[in-house]
Structure 1
Amino acid sequence: MPLPALSMPCRRWAVVLTAAFALPAGAAGNAAAPAQPALGLSADGTLVVDHRARLAWPRCVEGMRWNGSTCTGMAQLFTYGEAQARAKALGKADGVRWRLPRVNELRRLVDRSARPPTMDARLFPAAPRDWHWTGTASVNAAAVNPYAYGNVVRGGEGESQLSVQQGWAVDMSTGEARGDVGRATRMAVRLVRPAP
């Protein structure tokens, strides 16, 4: 039995809904194909590639070096400003857009369903399980709004000045994130770049 004819507005919605729920070309035949793991190694084994986010992570944190089988040396600790400068300098030297990861990107490296939560030691050997800097900005809109009653009463002092001096960090042993870390604090850094 044929479907009833649709009015013009209904036809537009039918096209939109059909497009929204359509499978990508070739997806119907690949329904049983296994999904690619989220994290895998680059061809040369020096990077961990996040296939879903299209990001590449060095296997070692800054200060440590990959020797072909593990990370050697000591993790270098940076202030927030030093971490940003390191990413910029490395980017200029390599010609690659290295940067500090965002909170959600760095947290994805910690398997929080594991007990206890952990990073995959095969992908990130000898990784420090400490706090790491992220590039996520601390934004406290109420504190920087000059028209907010609390800021007018304080004369624009207090939190607004502190929020500039704070940044976000992730505890790589738990996946916990905090946005109140003083930018002068020295922490480990794992940079990220677009996947090759």
Structure 2
Amino acid sequence: MRAAGLCTFDTPIGSCGIAWSEDAIVSVQLPDVDPAATLVRLRRRHPGFDTAAAPGWVQAIIARIQALLAGGRDDLADVPLDMRGEPEFNQRVYAIARAIPPGRTLTYGEVAQRIGEPGAARAVGQALGHNPFAPVVPCHRVLAAGNAGGGFSATGGVATKLRMLQIERAQIGDEPGLFD
């Protein structure tokens, strides 16, 4: 049986955190102002979890996240996530976001249409603002109307979102990027 735990790990955008249960990822924390702050935020979310060395299966996921944040193209769609406690609406939004490949984007309105609720763009934004799995659930790939940055709840806000899209060499909307 795999034990639950949490740890931090270095990435090109800063120190991220990850928490796991016996068989799935419980949350991923994008960088805070420094590694200690990242760990504090992760511990606050998971007070019953101890800091631990990541088991092999979690180490493999960490390596994939590190590669993605270095410009890799892994969509992380097969990473097991423990979504117990997440509202059903949010889970539907997260499923659509997970289907957006690296380097591509959708708008909040497009995600709302894809879940069958075309008037729910604002609710989509709120669900993504509560996403406990970024970047495994790539909320940074969802933009406001007109492909504007919109919001981003991670430290650094929209600047962090745009940096992550830049690392992915993102194509905004339906038009190919300059170097695609």
Please identify the structure whose Cα radius of gyration is greater: 1
Structure with larger RCO (C-alpha < 8 A, sep 6+) = 1
Q: TM-score range by the shorter chain?
A: under 0.3
Higher strand share: 1
Higher helix share: 2
What TM-score comes out, normalization by structure 1 length?
Answer: 0.22
